[in-house]
Structure formats: C-alpha cells, structure tokens
Amino acid sequence: MTYERENIQKITGYTPGEQPDSLTVIKLNTNENPYPPSEAVMRTLRNMKAEVLRRYPPPNAQEFCGVAAQMHGVKPENIIATNGGDELLRLAMTTFVDPLQSIGYAEPSYSLYPVLAEINNSPVVRIPLNENWSLPQDFAEQLNKEDVKLAFIVNPHAPSGYLTDVATLARMAETFKGVLLIDEAYVDFVDPDLHYNSMQLLERYDNVLILRSLSKGYSLAGLRYGYGIGNKSIIEPMLTKTKDSYNVDAISQHLALAALNDRETAAKTWRAVRTERQRLINHLKEIGFVCTDSQANFLLATVPDNLRGGAKFIYESLKRNDIFVRYFDAGRLRGSLRISIGKPDENDVLLKALRKLV
Ligand SMILES: Cc1ncc(COP(=O)(O)O)c(C=O)c1O
C-alpha cells in the first residue's frame, strides 16, 4: 500500500553529492568553500543566549534583511531570507507555477530544478546550452513559445562556471513573460574586474528574482541560509503566503547576520579561491585536460580522449585515494569531472594523483 501522490510515486528525488564521514578525505565534490567561516560567526555561536532559543525567531528575519538590503542597495521589502537557496527555489515553484504549468532552464544545469518540477507535477522545458556554455540567443523566445511560467538561469553557470553578462540577462528578462530566477549561488567568486552586478535589473524588470546563498561564499553550507532579492510584487507573496512562518531559525539568523557584517573575511576566501582556480586550470591544461574558464569555485575538466576508462575511471581512481570530485554520468557531461577548488595543499595532492593517472 502506498499513500504517495501518483507523480511522487514515479519520481526518484534529488541525489546529493557524497558526504563522507571521514574528515581526512580531500573533498572537492560539493563546492564547499575550503576555508572556515569568519571568527565573528563562531563567536556569535559561542555566545548564543538560551533566551534566543526559548522564543520563536523573528518571522521574516527583519534585521538580516535590513543588512542584506543595504549591501545590495535595495529596500528590506525586496529581500526574503530562506532556509538555504534551495528553499527559495521551492518557494518560487510553489508561488509562481501551477501544477501542469511548465518551468524551463538551459541544460545541463542544477539537477534540483527538474526534481522540484516533478514534485509540483510541472512539465520541464530543457533548452540545450551552446557549445561554449552560453545561453542560446533565442532562449527567452523558446521559453515563451512553451508558455513557461518560471525559468532558471544559474550564473555563474553550474557545472561549467561560465558567466553570462548582465546585458544578456536584461535581454532575457525583457523578452521572457514569466518569472526569471537568476541563481547566483556562486556569484561571490566572480572576478571583480568583470564588474558583474545584476541588481540593476531589478529597477527595470519586475519579473526578476535573484538567488543568493551563504553556503559557498560565506563557508556556511552547514547552516542552510540563503535569500532572494526581487521587486516587492515577487517577494511579498512568498513572504506573506507561501513560506513557513518561521522558515529560518533563530541561530541561523544571528550567524547569517554576523557573516554579512564581516564580509571582508569572506572576501579574503574569495580572493584565495580565485588565485587557486587559475593555478589549477593552468596545471590541468598542462596535464592534457580541457578546462572551462570558470568564474565559480569549481571548474569543469574534460578528460583527455586517449585516457583509457575516461572520466569515470579517473573519478573512481581518485576516490580510492580519498580524493572526491564530482562525476555526472549523463549527456554532454559524461567525459568531464567537476572539481571544487580546494586549499593549495589539497589541490597539490589532486594534481599529483592526476599526474600519476594520466
Ligand atoms: C546552482 C545552485 N543553486 C542553488 C544551490 C543551493 O544552495 P544552498 O541551498 O546550499 O544555499 C546550489 C547548491 O549546491 C547550487 O549548486
């Protein structure tokens, strides 16, 4: 006997990346920041008062939203705090898409999107990315043709790290008739010289919803904290109708606030990751891998053609040596590995193991 809805019976659910118990594993498979969170965050945690736990938390994380709003040059009413960026994705689905209405994204992309669609019983429109991982010119037109209500653009793109520029995003927002969710889970690692800033889109387009996460940029994947930024007409229904009353807990709110208030410490880790990203790319190319020019805290490395066993073989061999990277056994990603940028010594161990294998 099963009590599941019919569409839930049919789906398999999301498969998270492996989380090994051992702390000695070199873990380059789920894009965590290799550096610890700021000392200000840890101090806030140590000094947490029992009273904070006795009471319900502020329902809309008002203090956090105030600080985030100031940081982005928007109003607090333009921000919703969520239990990880993932909760924002789920809220967007619940709020803007009826069952049987479509969602869309460019493929390949974050594998949670189709799972959320399946849960909602929503068809998925998958539009292949160009060879260089850029969005097809007519992406928005294709979405409109299929009457898509909610579309996702992950920027920088996962798993390639490709960055779509703001002018292209503006064109998409202008043309697309539904809600355009720009998933910036990895945006903190973008080279500042590129002057990427999508906030300007919010002044011109009321259909844009930007996702931010503290998981990667602020080394807080374990905390589960993210937020959405958008026009009031996008934020308010999620804030007042579809989210749980107390969706972010009291401890998270305090720690997230401490993290934003000490952005400079996080920014040091972003600089370190960028430096290592370039070093890793240079060495991987030397070994014979084809690497994308990533703007995220990971890179996509395509395994040399002449290597027996290919990407799967390398993934498994590394794993036997306690080095975890991500292998996707699907579509155009089959010949590649997604490697999170580790600390210099971790990357050295990886490079040494790869040199031995190749
Ligand atoms: C593309 C993308 N978006 C959103 C998220 C959600 O991150 P979190 O829920 O940890 O904030 C992730 C996490 O891996 C991701 O890869």
Of ligand 1's listed atoms, the one at least distance from the Cα of 215 is 10
Of ligand 1's listed atoms, the one at least distance from the Cα of 183 is 3
For the segment 178-206, the average pLDDT, to the nearest whole number, is: 97
Position 175, amino acid? T
**pLDDT for 174 beyond 90:** yes
**pLDDT for 309 beyond 90:** no
**pLDDT for 308 beyond 80:** no
CA dihedral 112, 118, 124, 130 (to 10 degrees): 20
Q: How far is the CA of 213 from the centre of ligand 1 (A)?
A: 7
Q: What average pLDDT does the chain have? A: 95
Determine the pLDDT at residue 329.
81
**Length of the chain measured in residues:** 358
Decide: 170 and 155 in contact? Cβ < 8 Å: no
Q: How far is the CA of 287 from the centre of ligand 1 (A)?
A: 30
Determine the pLDDT at residue 44.
98
Determine the pLDDT at residue 231.
98
Show Cβ contacts of residue 49 under 8 Å, excluding neighbours closer than 6 positions.
Answer: none
Longest pairwise C-alpha distance within the chain: 62
Closest C-alpha residue for ligand 1 atom 7 = 85
Q: Which of 86, 87, 184, 229 to mutate to test the pocket of ligand 1 (most atoms within 8 A of CB)?
A: 86
Of ligand 1's listed atoms, the one at least distance from the Cα of 158 is 1
**Element at 57 (helix H, strand E):** none
**pLDDT for 347 beyond 80:** yes
Determine the pLDDT at residue 336.
93
Q: How far is the CA of 30 from the centre of ligand 1 (A)?
A: 10
Show Cβ contacts of residue 247 under 8 Å, excluding neighbours closer than 6 positions.
Answer: 81, 82, 83, 87
DSSP code at position 108: S
> Cα–Cα distance between 89 and 294 in angstroms, integer?
23
Of ligand 1's listed atoms, the one at least distance from the Cα of 109 is 1
For the segment 288-308, the average pLDDT, to the nearest whole number, is: 90
Q: Which of 88, 183, 186 to mutate to test the pocket of ligand 1 (most atoms within 8 A of CB)?
A: 183
The share of the chain scoring above pLDDT 90, in percent, equals 89
How would you label 305-338 residue by residue, b for 16+ Cβ within 10 Å and e otherwise? eeeeebbeebbeebbeeebbbbbbeeeebeebbb
Determine the pLDDT at residue 21.
77
Decide: 198 and 182 in contact? Cβ < 8 Å: yes
Closest C-alpha residue for ligand 1 atom 3 = 185
**pLDDT for 20 beyond 90:** no
* Model confidence pLDDT, tens digit, residues 129-158: 999 999 999 999 999 999 999 999 999 999
DSSP secondary structure string for all residues of 161-208:
-----HHHHHHHHHH-SSEEEEE-TTGGGS-GGG---TTHHHHH-TTE
- Classify residue 77 by burial, with Cβ atoms within 10 Å: 0-12, 13-18, 19+: middle
Q: Are strands 336-340 and 226-230 parallel, antiparallel or unpaired?
A: unpaired
The share of the chain scoring above pLDDT 70, in percent, equals 100
> Cα–Cα distance between 30 and 62 in angstroms, integer?
30
The pTM assigned to this predicted structure is 0.97
User: Which residues contact ligand 1 via a Cβ below 6 A?
Assistant: 84-86, 110, 154, 158, 183, 185, 213, 215, 221, 226
